[in-house]
Amino acid sequence: MSSIPLTVKGAELLTKELYHLKTVERPNIIEAISEARSHGDLSENAEYDAAREKQGFIENRISKIENILFNAQIIDPLSVDNDGRIVFGATVKLEDLNSGAQLSYQIVGDMEADIKSGLISISSPMARAMIGKEEGDIIEVKAPSGNYGYEIINVSYI
């Protein structure tokens, strides 16, 4: 499997989630399964079925996070030699050339992407258009809904 790019913050969040799943969620679900078993006949026990289903979800998530962290290439945006250009981990402030609206995005790995939080995937059309550019450049983003133009107002690494 190829390496999975993650920011330091993204790796920390996944590590915290993994710790929570292993130390809180897993013991709670084991206790819930034990409690449901004590109610007798398992073939008609909805509590038992629900607890087992939740256990499957938790164990799957633990496995997925462990796999991501094992294959992660953790990149600290502050240590990247960027020569003033946009690279992985950059936080970019843009101005929409049509509406004048200002937007801010951080370029992160696919596993960290959350558009509502301003985190866009390195493989997204927006990020691909920004990589290698610098402040003052105009970018054109080709998206399924059309082409959009943006001016890069500010690039920072936080």
Does the pTM of the predicted model rise above 0.85?
no
Minimum mean pLDDT range among 23-27, 35-39, 61-65, 136-140? 35-39
72-122 confidence digits (pLDDT tens) = 999 887 787 777 789 999 999 999 998 999 999 999 999 899 999 999 999
**Domains plus CATH for the chain?**
4-75 (1.10.287.180), 77-156 (3.10.50.30)
Categorize the per-residue pLDDT at 39 as very low, low, confident or very high, splitting at 50, 70 and 90.
confident
Contacts within 8 Å (CB) and 24+ apart, 128-134 = 130/86, 130/90, 130/92, 131/86, 131/87, 131/88, 131/107, 132/85, 132/86, 132/87, 133/85, 133/86, 134/84, 134/85, 134/86
Asked if the model's pLDDT at residue 2 lies above 80, the reply is no
Give pLDDT, residue 76: 87
Give pLDDT, residue 144: 82
Report how far apart, in Å, the C-alpha atoms of 94 and of each of 34, 128, 140 are.
Answer: 54, 14, 12
Instruction: Map tokens 């390496």 to a residue.
Output: 3
Is 116 exposed, middle or buried (CB count within 10 Å of its CB: 0-12, 13-18, 19+)?
exposed
